[in-house]
Amino acid sequence: MKTPLIAPSILASDFANLQREIEMLNRSEADWIHVDVMDGVFVPNISFGFPVVEAVKRYAQKPLDVHLMITQPERYIETFQKAGADRITVHYEACTHLHRTIQQIKDAGCQAGVALNPHTPVFLLEDILEELDLVLIMSVNPGFGGQKFIQRTYEKINRLSELRYTLNPQLLIEVDGGVNAGNARKLVEHGADVLVAGNFVFSAESPEVVIADLKKDAAL
Ligand code: DX5
Ligand code: ZN
């Protein structure tokens, strides 16, 4: 049986009640807490920075999965680690020296991931896949929650699954954007291991129930 890991994205949570939201995630079946950092340059939106990550860490009993949608992320890796990141994912499109940045994340003691925008083909990761703990496939254009899932994502997961089979069988495939009860199972069938969900979880009347159902219904 393959049960996906669920990583609710707090971008869709109630920031005015962040402690309550984190405590809800602690009680829930969520595996990781997905933390979306946006700088207004790499993506056309600004979310939050270090003080908020630190505040989340103070209450979180689950690993922080930090998704950096920022340019030159290499400037801030150590600061995010100190703020409480357990996993740090940088964008392929934002890194000139990706190999060095991945090394930096590992040297800081974190798990290292690379995110791909919808237009970036997975074969571009061929020469670095062995170094990675996870690849995050964006199934919407990064910057906002609540967008429509891009169907092409399934094909990208297929191709990444083939690549990891020979290069890095331990690699986790994470899918982020527009994930809901209608596509979760199919994503896992294609090879996804981690499902990020923002609006689908936090707009529900009972997010805890939605998280538990998503996990159960997407299990193969
Ligand atoms: C988008 C972020 C996502 C977002 C997902 O740029 O990376 O993590 O919060 O939100 P939903 O699940 O609402 O698409
Ligand atoms: Zn994200």
CA of 116 to the centre of ligand 1 (A): 14
Catalytic residue list contains 176: yes
Query: Residues lining ligand 2 (ion), CB within 5 A?
Result: 36, 67, 176
Say yes or no: CB of residue 68 within 6 Å of ligand 1: no
Mean pLDDT score, 134-142 = 98
Ligand 1 neighbour 197 (Cβ under 6 A) = yes
Inform me whether the pLDDT recorded for 1 exceeds 90. Answer: no
- CATH number of the domain at 157, please: 3.20.20.70
pLDDT for position 8: 98
User: Which tens digits make up the pLDDT trace of 84-98?
Assistant: 999 999 999 999 999
pTM, two decimal places: 0.98
Shortest-distance atom of ligand 1 to CA 141: 6
Mutate to test the pocket of ligand 1, among 199, 202, 211 (most ligand atoms within 8 A of CB): 199
pLDDT classification of 219: cutoffs 50, 70, 90: very high
**Closest approach atom of ligand 1 to CA 142:** 6
User: Domain limits at 194?
Assistant: 5-218
Number of domains in the chain: 1
Q: Would you say the ipTM is above 0.85?
A: yes
Q: What is the 3-state secondary structure (H, E, C) of the chain?
A: CCCCEEEEEHHHCCHHHHHHHHHHHHHCCCCCEEEEEEECCCCCCECCCHHHHHHHHHHCCCCEEEEEECCCHHHCHHHHHHHCCCEEEEEHHHCCCHHHHHHHHHHCCCEEEEEECCCCCHHHHCCCHHHCCEEEEECCCCCCCCCCCCCCHHHHHHHHHHHHHHHCCCCEEEEECCCCCCCHHHHHHHCCCEEEECHHHHCCCCHHHHHHHHHHHHCC
Report, as an integer, the average pLDDT of 130-144. 98
173-193 confidence digits (pLDDT tens): 999 999 999 999 999 999 999
